[in-house]
Structure formats: structure tokens, C-alpha cells
Amino acid sequence: MLQRLAICALAGAVMLGQEAPPPKKKGPGGPRIVRPGISTPGVKRPMDTIKPIAEISVPGVPDWQAVTKDALWVSNGPKNTVHKIDAKTNQVVAVVEVGPRPCSGLAAGFGSLWVPLCGERGTGNGKGLARVDLKTNKVIATIPVGPADSEGGVTVSKDSVWIVSDAKGVLSRIDPKTNTVKAEVTVPAGSVAVEFAEGAVWVTANKSAKLIKVDAKKNTVLKEIEVGPQPRFLTTGGGSVWTVNQGDGTVTRVDAKTDAIIAKIEAGIPGGGGEVSFGGGGLWVTVFDLPITFIDAKTNTVTKQWVGAGGDAIRYGHMSIWLSNLRQQNLWRIDPSKL
């Protein structure tokens, strides 16, 4: 009976011209969306065809990453640590305790790694933003301004550090000279991730399906751009801002100067989790089941997509793709020219 009702509801949605919801399947955490990926012939390929340059063990939950001049940093929430991987040797050269439950996207700037902390699970105690000195590999400050969402992020501009600190819609601007908040900008409720480009701080407003452009000098919202349902992760590159829209699995490309939408790209990756990075001629996206999707920046199309186990965080840096395989407790370094 329930199955019949579901079929009727689906048929009704099609008759009304509505987009049918993505199918779901049961998993250890309850129902999850089945990600269809791309159906274009020749685009999909199995993960076991990839031969990484290095496979680096990070026991725990290796997740969010940041690229620095000589290293790749990765967070490890259950261990309350970040790990520094030497870009020459592919070895873990430092493990830094940063505070309870590092979460959300990392950023590097002002000689430091900035690590959002979600605090103790269930209590939020210890929530904040840890600052790690890149030379000494030690925490030099913990600012009592935490992330609004565990899947958000932090970014740096020429003179400030920015983070969405309240789900009600607060973008905090932090002075790295004093490690204190010097301004707060009102953004839509449900805003999450941030990036800096072309003199502006770009914020994804997950609940309102918008990309918010904030003037980094005047601390004012310049524009709200409709990008797609449930935008969350974003990155910049190629003169554009790119948003991953979890509601329908698309990627929206916005011109960072004119604010015009250049393309809305079908990627077949709806649902929670994942991350995105730009480099090597295009966009790299990761989600569970489809650990790597590559979008060519010249054609704005998915040209390669890998299917299988792995993924959930990704970065382009040091002429490589770095893939955090969260469930496998390791990190892959991949030569993009071999993909």
C-alpha cells in the first residue's frame, strides 16, 4: 500500500510538471539519496582505476583540507587534531591538538591555519576558531567565535578572517592582528560557507537558495544571486564563483565581476556531504559514492566522474588532487594528468 501511494505521488508530481525527488536507499544512518551521477557515455569510470601517487594513513576521520606553501593540512574531528602532510615527502610531519571537534572548512592566511571547532558533541562547549602557527605548528589563539554549521567554512581576505558564526545569519569579520571580531554582517538565515574573491566575500545561503556577495571593505551585502536549491560548498577560480547545490545535484557558475550566472551544470550529485576545489583547468567535486567529479572550465560540462568507495573532502594543490577518504581513514594524493 505504501509503495503504491509512493508511486501515485511520483506520478502526480510528473503530471503537475514538478521535479520528482531523488530516490533513496537505506543505510546505517537511515535513508540516503541515491546519487545518479552523469549518464553521458564514457564519462563514468570506476575508482579502482585510479593509482594514487601516495596513500597516507590518517587514523580517525580525515576530512577538511587546506593547502599551504609546503604542505597539505587535514582535520581529524574525533581526535581533536589537524595533521600536516609534507608536500615533498607525503609524510605526516606534525599532529596538532586544536580543541574539541575540528569541523567545517579550513583556511590558511596571515602565517596561520584557521580551524573551526564545533565543540564537544551535544554541548557545544569549546566551540570557536583555533589559530595554528604554520612555522611552529602550535595553537597560538582560540577565538570564541565558532562555525554556524559543521559543513560551513572560513576564509581570509587581505586583512581579515571571515566565518558565518550564527545560523540566524551572522557573518563575523575577525582582525588577525588582535584575534577579535571587528564587524558583523547580517546575511540570510541558514548561511553556511564562505570564500573571498574579487574584493568580495561570497556566502552560500543554504535555506534561501542564494549566493550572497558582501563588500569586504564596507561590510555590506551587495547582491543576492539565485543559484539553485540548497547551495552549500563553494570555491573560486577561473574568474568565477562555483556553488554545489545539494538540492538537485547541480553546480552553478557565477561571474565574480558581473555577478551573472554563466552556467548551471548537471552533475548528478544531490544530497549532503562533499566538498569542492578549483585547479588544473576545472572544478573538482567529491561526494560519497561518486568520490571525484571533474567539470571542465572551458566547456562547463562534467567530462570525468569516478564511481566507488572513498571521498568526502577534496583539494587541488601542489600540482595534485588530494582526496580525503573519510571512511577508509586515509588520504590519497593523485596526479591529475594521469586521470
Instruction: Kindly state whether residue 140 falls inside one of the protein's structural domains.
Output: yes
Instruction: Kindly state whether residue 137 falls inside one of the protein's structural domains.
Output: yes
Q: Structural domain of residue 44, as residue ranges? A: 35-338
Instruction: Kindly state whether residue 13 falls inside one of the protein's structural domains.
Output: no
Q: What's 210's domain CATH number? A: 2.130.10.10
Beta strands 191-197 and 44-46, pairing class:
unpaired
Of 23-37, 100-114, 212-226, 323-337, least confident by mean pLDDT is 23-37
Q: What is the pLDDT of residue 122?
A: 81
Instruction: Kindly state whether residue 260 falls inside one of the protein's structural domains.
Output: yes
Of 10-24, 148-162, 203-217, 227-241, least confident by mean pLDDT is 10-24
Q: Which three cell numbers stand for residue 335?
A: 596526479
Q: What is the DSSP string of 22-55?
A: PPEEEETTEEEE------STTTEEEGGG---SEE
Instruction: Kindly state whether residue 87 falls inside one of the protein's structural domains.
Output: yes
Q: What is the pLDDT of residue 243?
A: 98
Q: Give 16's contacts (C-beta < 8 A, 6+ positions apart).
A: none
Q: What is the pLDDT of residue 33?
A: 77
Instruction: Kindly state whether residue 86 falls inside one of the protein's structural domains.
Output: yes
- Pick the more confident residue, 329 or 8: 329
Q: How much of the chain exceeds pLDDT 70, in percent?
A: 91
Instruction: Kindly state whether residue 30 falls inside one of the protein's structural domains.
Output: no
Q: For residue 229, give the nearest of 277, 272, 194, 186 by alpha carbon.
A: 272
Q: What is the pLDDT of residues 130-181, one digit of tens each?
A: 999 999 999 999 999 999 999 999 999 999 999 999 999 999 999 999 999 9
Task: Give the integer Cα–Cα distance in Å for 116 and 281.
Answer: 29
Of 33-37, 140-144, 281-285, least confident by mean pLDDT is 33-37
Residue 260 has pLDDT above 80, yes or no: yes
Q: Say how many domains are in the chain.
A: 1
Mean pLDDT, range 181-210, rounded to an integer: 97
Beta strands 170-175 and 161-166, pairing class:
antiparallel
Q: Answer whether 276's CB lies under 8 Å from 235's CB.
A: yes
H and E: helices and strands count for the chain: 1, 31
What global pTM score does this model have? 0.91
Q: Give 287's contacts (C-beta < 8 A, 6+ positions apart).
A: 35, 269, 271, 273, 274, 293, 311, 312
Residue 208 has pLDDT above 80, yes or no: yes
Residue 2 has pLDDT above 70, yes or no: no
Mean pLDDT, range 110-128, rounded to an integer: 94
Q: What is the pLDDT of residue 123?
A: 83
Instruction: Kindly state whether residue 22 falls inside one of the protein's structural domains.
Output: no
Task: Give the integer Cα–Cα distance in Å for 44 and 46.
Answer: 7
Alpha helix (H) residue ranges in the chain: 2-15
Q: What is the pLDDT of residue 332?
A: 98
Task: Give the integer Cα–Cα distance in Å for 131 and 116.
Answer: 9
Mean pLDDT, range 86-106, rounded to an integer: 97
